[in-house]
A and B are shown apart, each in its own frame.
Chain A
Amino acid sequence: MLGLNKKDTMFLLIVIALTMATPFLMQPFSEGSALAQFNGGYPDLMAKVAIFGIFAIGFNILFGLTGYLSFGHAAFLGVGSYSAVWMFKILSLNVFPAIILAVIMAGLFSLVIGYISLRRSGIYFSILTLAMAEMSFRLAYSVFTPLTNGETGLQVRPSDVQLLDGPNAPEYPNIFGLLISDSYKWEVAGHVFTFNVGFYFCAVIAIIAFYISLRIFRSPFGMMLRAVKSNQNRMSYTGLNPRPYTLAAFVISGMYAGLAGGLLAVMDPLAGAERMQWTASGEVVIMTILGGAGTLLGPVLGAGAIKYLENIFSKINETVLHDWFAFLPDSIEDVVVFILSRFTGHGWALTLGLMFMLVVTFLPGGLVEGGKRFFGMFKRKPKEPDDAEHHPETPPHVAE
């Protein structure tokens, strides 16, 4: 089906089913129960998982397949957001022109940055991308303030004239009139499930993005990208020019980033330059490696895990911790809360860092490898020969 073999079709169907069921999967605890704070089924968070999933899927086409580690992909995310908001301001609050322009602009932008950065490989490539993304970030605050509105950020204002929208058109992002922010809440047996237009819009696009990545992985083009990572010398002496292949991968991943940026603006029509900062570029690297670089599902798992945990951990402040440990004698309680609070709330980054260290050290193939090992314990069957997506014995190598 759809140009996929049986196994991949099954794979895709499972991914679709899981994505569509996210409002249930991320809301396992009933309202009012002690565990309700671990629920993650709000539209905002679920959409973020889908959006950053797209970002990481695209990033993985570059990093996972060709091995080129970009530290500047947030720049394309930012370009996508700005482009989308501009469309909202001047053309229409319909989401389609916005995300289409986001993808096109990010594609053009990544073509320029990729063309320059890909003159080098390995660590020099990484540094070049980092430098250029930082430059874009700074420029957004200075030279380009007419386009970016500087530190305030770009917003949709009532005074904006949406040229294509009629007088009765909605004043918020919408899909041909259907508001992105519309939700349907379903209460059943103490559980509250939220089905949000914005989330499902992002989810459908994420599935398309995943499907395209699956096709690329299985294509001769994808094989060439893996050849770039494996041995560029052999490639050249076999009559293939590695440069356009890498550039194509770079632009594709840039367009994915732009799409993600556009969708961020769809969920919340506001764009700020902090989206382009190097920490944001680092985040997608961490997502991809944490989930499993070079695997199909890894980036999505990485994005999901990080966005979910970020949300949960950030909510655990000292008051919550004191509540949890109230049963301890006061002096011990204070110590425990003091230590744990370094890792929660604003200290969430510390937990993420630890998690990343542990995964990279003990599970170089990321969560996907962890999953395979876990399920491998129950199977006595000898290991199947590797297929294209899994290379557990080659850890994601950062140099080159």
Chain B
Amino acid sequence: MGILEVKGINKRFGGLQALGDVNLSVVENTVHALIGPNGAGKSTLLNVLVGKLAPDSGSVLFDGKSVLGRKPHEINQMGISRVFQTPEIFGDLSVIENMMIPCFARRDGSYRMHAFETVGSEKGIIEDAETMLSDVNMLEKRDMHAASLSRGDKRRLEMAMCLVQQPRLLLLDEPTAGMARADTNNTIELLKHIRDSRDITMVIIEHDMNVVFSLAERITVLAQGTPLVEDTPDNIKGHPKVQEAYLGETAVD
């Protein structure tokens, strides 16, 4: 059984069937890509996984425990972190503060009233935050206002915020969208390094096939809310149904 087991998920928005009987099994410590045309329901599926949306029916098991009905912060504390399609960061805070918050969440749980300590005296937390920042090459932007970062940097920051939590399952919603070529390559290298050096499972949504084929071990193609095929990258490349539904015009190298 996979670390993540999604069974029979349905979700309607009015007349639109955004997810129709979605089944997905993600094997522990693998990178599983989720691809499909715009509006296929990829982000909606992640929304269900992190507790942002309640599905109409179906079940989601993470490590054997049910996820549905739990609050987003509880799901995160179970070990699931998510990078959003549009970066969700603390814009009013500095980069290093953005990094420290997930460190606190990991160490102290979902609430702790540490009102009489000072941020500056949390040496361990600051060290973890800085190490992660330098892993994503952003240490020199440590004291910048997060809102003033470029789009690519915001994404990298958000990814670093998720990674520093050492999640067991990392959900990435188009992590390289809006990044320059060089940054995309850096991101691929970073994710490869993470994949190979930690016990971590990743589900990655990506339109950039270069990213998908560099990282993924399994690929699920989603179209109109329903999984079309699931297979290894090599088989997906040549699959006629996939060519037709998704890759059609943008043939892969």
Complex CA distance for A216 and B72, rounded to whole angstroms = 26
Contacts of B165 in A (CB 8 A): 238-239
Is the C-beta of B194 less than 8 angstroms from some C-beta in chain A?
A: no
| Residues of B with C-beta under 8 A to A215 | 115-116, 118
Give Cα A237–Cα B84 distance, bound, in whole angstroms.
Answer: 10
Q: B235 contacts the other chain (Cβ, under 8 Å)?
A: no
Q: Does B238 contact A (CB under 8 A)?
A: no
Knowing A230-B91, A233-B88 are in contact, say whether A240-B81 is a contact too (CB < 8 A): no
A146 within 8 A of B: no
The A-contacting residues of B in range 74-103, CB under 8 angstroms, are 76-77, 81-82, 84, 88-94, 97, 100-102
Contacts A236-B71, A241-B71; A226 near B76 (Cβ below 8 A): no
* B-contacting residues, A219-251, CB 8 Å: 219-224, 226-227, 229-231, 233-241, 244-245, 248
Main secondary structure of the interface of A (DSSP, over half): helix
Nearest neighbor of B111 in chain A, beta-carbon distance: A244
Q: A234-B89, A239-B106 are in contact. Are A5 and B120 (CB under 8 A)?
A: yes
Interface residue ranges of A290-320 to B (CB < 8 Å): none
Q: Kindly identify which residue among A4, A227, A237, A241 contacts B82, using a CB–CB cutoff of 8 Å.
A: A237
Q: Does B231 contact A (CB under 8 A)?
A: no
**Beta-carbon contacts of A138-177 to B below 8 Å, as 1s and 0s?**
0000000000000000000000000000000000000000
Interface flag for A394 (CB, 8 Å):
yes
Give B22-59 interface residues, CB cut-off 8 Å to A. Answer: 50
- Is B117 engaged at the interface, CB distance under 8 Å to the other chain? yes
Complex Cα–Cα for A222 and B71 (A): 23
- Chain A residue at minimum C-beta to C-beta distance from B88: A234
Q: What does the 1/0 interface line of B132-159 toward A look like (CB < 8 Å)?
A: 0000000000011100000000000000
Q: Scoring A residues 342 to 370 as 1 if CB is less than 8 Å from chain B, else 0, what string do you get?
A: 00000000000000000000000000000
Interface bin, chain B: 35 or more
Q: Write the chain A residue with the least CB distance to B102.
A: A238
Looking across the interface, which residue of chain B has its beta carbon closest to that of A225? B115
Distance, CA A245 to CA B115, complexed state (A): 11
**Chain B residue nearest in CB terms to A231:** B90
| Cβ contacts under 8 Å, A275 to chain B | none
User: Within the complex, which residue of A220, A230, A235, A244 is in contact with B117, where a contact is CB–CB below 8 Å?
Assistant: A220
| Contact between B76 and A227, CB atoms less than 8 A apart | no
A218 interface hit (Cβ, 8 Å): yes
Residue numbers in B under 8 Å from A5 (CB-CB): 118, 120
The reply to whether B119 and A227 form a contact with Cβ atoms under 8 Å apart is no
Name, among A223, A229, A236, A238, the residue most crowded by chain B CB atoms within 10 Å (CB to CB).
A238
Q: Tell me, in angstroms, the Cα distance from A231 to B86 when the chains sit together.
A: 13
State A34–B127 Cα separation when bound (angstroms).
62
- Of chain A, the residue at the smallest CB distance from B125 is A220
Task: Assess whether A191 is interfacial by the CB under 8 Å rule.
Answer: no
Asked whether B111 lies within 8 Å of A245 as measured between CB atoms, the reply is: yes
A323 located at the interface, meaning its Cβ lies under 8 Å from any Cβ of chain B in the complex = no
Q: Is the beta-carbon distance between B97 and A223 smaller than 8 angstroms?
A: yes
Most chain B CB within 10 A, of A4, A236, A388, is at A236
| Number of A-B residue pairs having CB atoms within 8 Å of each other in the complex | 113
Chain A residue at minimum C-beta to C-beta distance from B106: A239
Question: Shortest Cβ distance from B110 into chain A, in angstroms?
Answer: 4
Known contacts A5-B120, A238-B105, A385-B143: A222-B115 contact under CB 8 Å: yes
* Separation of A240 and B111 alpha carbons in the complex (Å): 6
Q: How many residues of A contact B (CB 8 A)?
A: 35
1/0 contact trace for A1-19 toward B, CB 8 Å? 0011100000000000000
Q: Which A residues are CB-close (under 8 A) to B113?
A: 221, 244, 248
Name the distance in Å between A7's Cβ and chain B's nearest Cβ.
11
A70 CB to closest chain B CB (Å) equals 19
Q: How far is the CA of A227 from the CA of B77 in the complex (A)?
A: 18
Instruction: Assess the A237–B90 pair: CB atoms within 8 A.
Output: no
Alpha-carbon distance between A54 and B112 when the two chains are bound, in angstroms = 25
Report whether B101 and A224 are in contact in the complex, using a CB–CB cutoff of 8 Å: yes
Task: Determine if B111 and A238 form an interchain contact, defined as CB atoms under 8 angstroms apart.
Answer: no
CB atoms of A239 and B93 under 8 A apart: no
Question: What separation, in Å, do the CA atoms of A226 and B100 have in the docked complex?
Answer: 13
Q: Mark A120-131, 1 if CB is under 8 A from B, else 0.
A: 000000000000
The answer to whether A219 and B116 touch across the interface, beta carbons within 8 angstroms, is yes
Q: Give residues 150-194 of B contacting A (CB, 8 Å).
A: 161, 165
Once the chains bind, are B115 and A231 in contact (CB under 8 Å)?
A: no
Considering residues A216, A219, A220, A229, which has the most beta carbons from chain B within 10 angstroms of its beta carbon?
A220
Counting chain A CB atoms within 10 Å of each CB, the highest count among B109, B113, B120, B143 belongs to B113
Known contacts A219-B115, A386-B145; is-contact A394 B77 (Cβ 8 Å)? no
CB–CB A223/B119 < 8 A:
yes
Q: Are B90 and A239 within 8 A (Cβ)?
A: no
Known: A220-B114, A237-B82. 9 other contacts (CB 8 A): A5-B118, A219-B116, A231-B88, A237-B50, A237-B72, A237-B88, A238-B102, A239-B106, A240-B104
Contact sample, A vs B, 23 pairs, CB 8 Å cutoff: A4-B118, A215-B115, A216-B115, A218-B120, A219-B115, A219-B116, A219-B118, A221-B113, A223-B100, A227-B101, A229-B92, A233-B88, A236-B76, A238-B105, A238-B161, A238-B165, A239-B105, A239-B106, A240-B104, A240-B105, A244-B113, A245-B111, A393-B145
Chain A interface residues toward B at CB < 8 A: 3-5, 215-216, 218-224, 226-227, 229-231, 233-241, 244-245, 248, 385-386, 388, 391, 393-394
